[in-house]
């Protein structure tokens, strides 16, 4: 989450709330792509905000751009149900 990303700042409390409601199944890791540029390139992050959902090191979903809260909740729930 970069300090100059307005949409990231808008999304941050939404994600924190969703994670708080699901803390037994999900963890949130925030990365400032300006500081972690190489990791961002490696992960294919070219736009912000980008939310990548992993399960056991496998990418299950990627959401790019600001989405409705419901879309993030659905993606988290769907990924948590996958085996």
Question: 41 with 34: CB under 8 angstroms?
Answer: no
Q: Which residues are catalytic?
A: 5, 8
Residue 33 CB neighbours (<10 A): 21
- Distance in angstroms (rounded) separating the CA atoms of residues 54 and 58: 5
């Amino acid at each position: 989450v970069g300090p100059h990303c307005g949409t990231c700042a808008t999304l941050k409390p939404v994600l924190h709330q969703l994670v708080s409601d699901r803390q037994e199944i999900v963890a949130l890791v925030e990365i400032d792509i300006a500081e972690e540029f190489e990791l961002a390139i490696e992960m294919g992050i070219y736009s912000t905000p980008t939310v990548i959902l992993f399960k056991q090191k496998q990418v299950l979903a990627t959401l790019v751009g600001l989405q409705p809260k419901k879309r993030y909740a659905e993606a988290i729930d769907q990924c948590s149900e996958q085996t």
